[in-house]
Amino acid sequence: MKKLNIEEKDFLQISEDTELFISGQKDFFKIDIAENVHAKILFFNTQINFLECKIAHNSCLYFDVVSLFEKKSKIKFDLQEHAQLHLKNISSQKIEEETIINLNEEGADFHGEYLILANDSQNSIKTKIIHNAQKTFSDITNFGIALTEGNINFETIGKIEKGKSKSICNQLSRGIILGKKAEITGYPILLIDEYDVQAHHGMTIGKISDDELFYLMSRGLTKKQAEQLIISSIIKPFLDTLLDEDLREEVEKSMYSLI
């Protein structure tokens, strides 16, 4: 991937297929994806207070955000007709993030995946997906792992405006609690003003199943090894699909060091 440090610019125009590894710090940054472009962008420990991204007609953006340090940010995406956004967000330190996805034209398509690992930090993830047009699609999955005194809060809002028929809005939050003082909370919210749509939300939060632990321990693993194996089965699929293969090992070591 081509590497780019954003500290010397405020705006990035992408007009052809590209793969970018972006780092640096910035108060404000803007990305415009031109029409008919297939782009892949990886933010690694990138500190941006406010990020704005526009994806034009018939373009597709794969956007990975990996944070191994404390971060606070706001992000806004605007998708035009048949634009696609695949967002993956991985964090192992304190994170406070608010993201707004505007599906502004027919065929706009959003897929989001969040993996938050909290050891002793307070973490807040707020995501709002607004269906501003007919035949738009959104699907988001939040996954939290709370250790020791870690606290994770997911607030996910899916909104379908009146008249935006044939739209689909799905959201799912899952969490595993591994500390006596750890906590995961979630607020799945659907604001639906149209009848001819599909909208679903679900949430499951709890400890690792005693049956799963018993089964693995009966095969010779200690309780800690069994817990690590189960958590690995959750983390690994996120890491295996990171855009930069060279980064996977570093992120894996960082996350497993907390477990």
pLDDT value, residue 180 = 85
| 3-state DSSP assignment of residue 223 | helix
> What burial class does residue 182 get, using C-beta atoms within 10 Å of its C-beta: 0-12 exposed, 13-18 middle, 19+ buried?
buried
pLDDT (tens digit, 9 = 90+) per residue, 141-150? 999 999 888 9
249 burial (CB, 10 Å; 0-12 / 13-18 / 19+) is exposed
d(CA 82, CA 208): 40
pLDDT tens column, 84-98: 999 999 998 899 999
Residues belonging to the chain:
259
- Report whether 141 contacts 110 (CB < 8 A): no
> What pLDDT is stored for residue 157 in this prediction?
96
Q: What SS3 state is found at 252?
A: helix
CA–CA separation, 27 and 142 (whole Å): 26
The reported pLDDT for the residue numbered 56 is: 98
What residue segments make up the domains of the chain, in order of their start? 2-207
Whole-number Å distance between alpha carbons of 151 and 212 = 24
Over its length of 259 residues, how does the chain's per-residue pLDDT go in tens digits? Answer: 899 898 878 899 999 999 999 999 999 999 999 999 999 999 999 999 999 999 999 999 999 999 988 989 999 999 999 999 999 999 988 999 999 999 999 999 999 999 999 988 899 999 999 999 999 999 999 999 998 889 999 999 999 999 999 999 999 999 999 888 999 998 999 999 999 999 999 988 888 888 888 888 888 888 888 888 888 888 888 888 887 877 888 888 887 777 7
pLDDT for the residue 209: 82
The number of C-alpha atoms within 13 Å of 182 and in the hemisphere containing its C-beta is: 21
Q: How many CA atoms lie within 13 A of 2 on its CB side?
A: 9
pTM: 0.93
